[in-house]
Structure 1
Amino acid sequence: MRFFSSLLLSLPFAIAQATAWSKTCIVPASGNGTDDSPAIRQAFQECGVNGRVVFSENTTYDVQSVLQLHNLSNVQVDLRGTLVYSTNVRYWIQHGSHYYFQNISIAMEFSGTDIIIDGHDTGVIDGQGQVWYDLALGIGGLFGRPIPFCLRNVTNAVARNFKILQSGKWNFVMVESRNILVDNIYLSSTSDDYQANPGNLGNTDGWDTINSDNITITNSYANTGDDCVSFKPGSTNMYVKNLTCVNTAGIAIGSLGQYEGVFDPVENITVEDVTLIGSRNGAYIKTYMGKRTYYPPQGGGNGTGSVKNVLFKNFHIENITAAPVLIQQCSAWAGWDVPSCSEYPATGFIFDNITWANFTGWMNEAVGTTTVSLVCSPYSECSNIQVDDITVVPATGTGTASRICTNVNGFNASCGVSNSTSVEARMSADGVLT
């Protein structure tokens, strides 16, 4: 029996109901270009428990220092105004809130329980990211690039009705959190120099989840230059519905296996009703190769992991530049002296019970006609894979869509049904793959 998560929250949010707050703090703004972060911290200190914090509409708040808004409980944040981050590169590199995975740096993070953050359709977080796009050209993992919004170690939260613009790195990340509803969020990270240097938007993901459980993302939009949503290691019970992603890298699981010797699980993922326009990929799974090359965040590899119980359903695609249905196990840092994936294939991954269903639309004709590319390492287990109703066509409508399957149990090389066997069955007694 096939199982897929389908959470669309009954989310245990009595907190989303009207609540009689014991105290309300309206955050003052200096209005003269000085740092408003001390006033923001003070408001959360006074009203972060059983209270309400208000950023006033039509008001700009200058954020020039890191905001670690911790130990919150039963709080509503009315983010009606605009938070603008400074472009002080030296400060953010030295002082951002650190998290070990890919050595990320966070500019504003919330932690605690029972939190509502509501922008009321007027709230904006402006990361002023152009300085980072120019500085990090070709170095997506450049240390210190500030992530403007993070839910970190949060249980029970709603984030809705606001915009994040020009993020310095990833836009909206959830770390070690559970029971989160994200709804009606608008993300946009665009570079002035994108046409000449498209690489300078590297690592401007839309939503990222790390070591988190039971998260729903609905009714949202992203134009971010990299993954629209990325389910990173430890992401379980995720539900995504009704997204529009423009100029992104698609919906990603991974990359997994970046940290040598570490096992990365991702389980119970459902993503449906997604429109991808000008995307590099569709819905895809990516892992590192079987040899570590350099170190994270810029390098890595030779980890393991599993991806189980995944459904990608009802995708409409326009002008995609790679196969919309994709498994690739060949990620590596693009530095010098990187070995080939055939020499060091990914080892020890398990992909089980994964379905791509009802993909429509058209590809950019310059990239060929391959609509399905499921390339599993010979030392991974790829089983219970289904690919149904994939009708994405070449842009001209005249080409014939092709499919490539490698080492996928039950599929032949063109993804037709076969009697292929598992990795274990293809191993000889001395452990050599046959």
Structure 2
Amino acid sequence: MKPHGLEFLLFFSSWYCLGARADASPVCVIPAAGDESDDSPAIIQAFQDCGKGGQITFSANTTYYVQTVLQLHNLSNVQIDFLGTILFSTDVRYWIQHGSYYHFQNISIAMEFSGEYINIDGHSQGVIDGQGQVWYDLALGVGGLFGRPIPFSLRNANHSIARNLEIKQSGKWNFVIIESHNITADNIFISSTSDDFQANPGNLGNTDGFDTLYSDDVRITNSYINSGDDCVSFKPGSTNIYVQNLTCVNTAGIAVGSLGQYQGQFDLVENITARDIKLVSSRNGAYIKTYNGISVYYPPQGGGNGTGRVQNVLFENFYIQNITAAPVLIQQCTHWEGYNVPPCADFPATGFTFQNVTWKNFTGNTNPSVGTTVASLACSPKSNCTGFTFTDIDVRPPNGTATLSCTNIHGYDEKCQPV
């Protein structure tokens, strides 16, 4: 809306403010420099001027070159319209030294939003491009390599929405929600693909689609994820999360965890619903993973011997096509290769409780490499697995009859039959 007599243009700055709308709230449109120089100062200035009760627009048909970290904090009641493209630099040295740090797995964030009542809308044309190939080639499967930048994060955000965005070629995780409450992510298109994926799938490690971490009351809906790692991962402190209508291609599946990575730490995940999920050429279906009972090396590349509780989880209406591992899975032996990790039987995961977990209405088929196992649930002898339910598991192997395997699951025998 054209402002009423307050419009002004600051020619000596790389941003401009359109003054106030009719309701007296400020409006900022961010122009790009146009010469591939760093547009971060203009972006930061616009958020300082219009980040409270205002409207901020990234212009259509415009590329914003971002060479420095964007910590967009203390926002409130702000409308952010992503109509153009944010293109992050490939300056590996800079991002390793200057990314916005968070202690869990030493993650580094390139752009984060914090505050309350933040409304981010890409209008189905906004793009955030992490230019991740340089990181895939550098990491070579080392998922915990320090400094790999996450291009989009809601961190310490409340009552906020992100929708109609495309996030592609992330250096690490794509969209992470940290220490936030009442968050909606809707109609997000995520794609992280490596030039070398077919020959070396390992070099695309740790490029999760969505991650929730110490966050409550989150909804993730109507989205597409092609990421090479977890489609959605409910990490420690994820509570009251609702996920629906996702298509996950070349992912590791819908994951609870990994949990128990930090020795002596208690990890809670509870009240999780994931339904109406399509998984195509993914490794797992819906699964829970914890580290084993000994800490080997150090997080993020190592760890273990933590404890935790997972309760009230529903995985419902999963269609699985050409999955390459188990559609239904619990494994308590997560570890990183190369650090002389002893066998799980020697140090089983200790102090975990899993209760009221349901897999319901799973259909589709597995890849021939899986064999006939469609469910593999291995609870540590030093953990407690109760209240498990399997209903309408109709995922079929191409050869043979589907089999299920249960170990230490209360109320079930080794073939997952009720006893």
TM-score, with length taken from structure 2: 0.94
Shift of 1:21: 6.2
| Partner of residue 124, structure 1 | 127
Residue 425 of structure 1 is matched in structure 2 by: none
Alignment root-mean-square deviation, CA:
1.0
Counterpart among 282, 291, 296 of residue 293 in structure 1? 296
Match of 1:30 in 2: 33
1:391 aligns with 394
Structure 2 counterpart SS, 1:44: helix
Q: Is the 8 A contact 1:267 1:308 kept in 2?
A: yes
Residue 415 of structure 2 is matched in structure 1 by: 414
Equivalent of residue 150 in structure 2, options 144, 147, 150: 147
Contact kept, 8 Å, 1:71 with 1:111, in 2: the verdict is yes
Find the counterpart in structure 1 of residue 271 from structure 2: 268
Q: 2:211 & 2:184 partners in 1: Cα distance?
A: 14
Determine which of 78, 101, 104 is the counterpart of 2:104: 101
2:366 is the counterpart of 1:380? no
Once residues 183 and 145 of structure 1 are traced to their aligned partners in structure 2, the CA distance between those partners, rounded to angstroms, is: 25
Q: Deviations over 1:187-243 (max 9, x none)?
A: 000000111110011000000000000000000000000000000000000000000
Hey, what's the Cα distance between the residues in 2 that align with 1:244 and 1:295?
Answer: 34
Quick one: which of 308, 319, 325 aligns to 1:322? 325
Number of aligned residue pairs: 399
| Whole-angstrom distance in 1 between the partners of 2:355 and 2:93 | 45
Equivalence map 1:209-224=2 (5 Å): 209-224=212-227
> Quick check: 1:85–1:126 contact (8 Å CA) kept in 2?
yes
SS of 1:391's equivalent in the other structure is strand
Partner of 2:244: 241
- Equivalent residues of 2:296, 2:339 under 8 A apart: no
**Residues 1-50 of structure 1: per-residue CA shift (max 9 Å, x gap):** xxxxxxxxxxxxxxxxx994601000110010100000000000000000
Q: Quick one: distance in 1 between partners of 2:275 and 2:341?
A: 36
> How do 1:85-100 residues align onto structure 2 when only pairs under 5 Å count?
85-100=88-103
Rounded Cα–Cα distance in structure 1 between residues aligned with 2:141 and 2:238:
27
Q: Deviations over 1:35-88 (max 9, x none)?
A: 000000000000000001000010000000000000000001001110000000
Deviation of 1:336 (Å)? 3.4
The answer on whether the counterparts of 2:67 and 2:89 sit within 8 Å (CA) in structure 1 is yes
| Distance of 1:249 and 1:409 partners within structure 2 | 27
Report the 3-state secondary structure (helix = DSSP H, G, I; strand = E; otherwise coil) of the residue aligned with 2:54: strand
- Residue 261 of structure 1 and its aligned partner are, at CA, apart by 0.3
* Code of the aligned partner of 2:204: L
Distance in 1, Cα, partners of 2:286 & 2:225: 15
Q: Which runs of 5+ in 1 are unaligned?
A: 1-17, 419-434
Q: C-alpha offsets along residues 354-398 of structure 1, whole Å, 9 cap, x if unaligned?
A: 000000000001221100111000000000000110000013xx4
Find the aligned partners of 1:253 and 1:363 in 2 and give their Cα distance.
Answer: 21
Q: Give the aligned partner of residue 228 of structure 2.
A: 225
CA distance in 2, matches of 1:387, 1:20: 55
Structure 2: which 5+ residue stretches go unaligned? 1-20
Contact 1:21 1:52 (C-alpha < 8 Å) held by counterparts: no
Structure 2 matches for 1:167-182, cutoff 5 A?
167-182=170-185
* Secondary structure, counterpart of 2:376 in structure 1: strand
Q: Is the 8 A contact 1:21 1:50 kept in 2?
A: no
When structure 1 is superposed on structure 2, of 333-342 and 292-301 the one drifting more is 333-342
Map of 1:73-88 to 2, 5 A cutoff? 73-88=76-91
Q: In structure 1, how many angstroms separate the alpha carbons of the residues matched to 2:339 and 2:179?
A: 34
The structure, 1 or 2, with the larger RCO (C-alpha pairs under 8 Å, 6+ apart) is 1
- Tell me the residue number matched to 1:363: 366
Structure 2 CA distance for aligned equivalents of residues 20 and 167 of structure 1: 38
Structure 1 length as normaliser, TM-score? Answer: 0.91
The 1:19/1:358 distance shift into structure 2, 3 A limit, reads farther
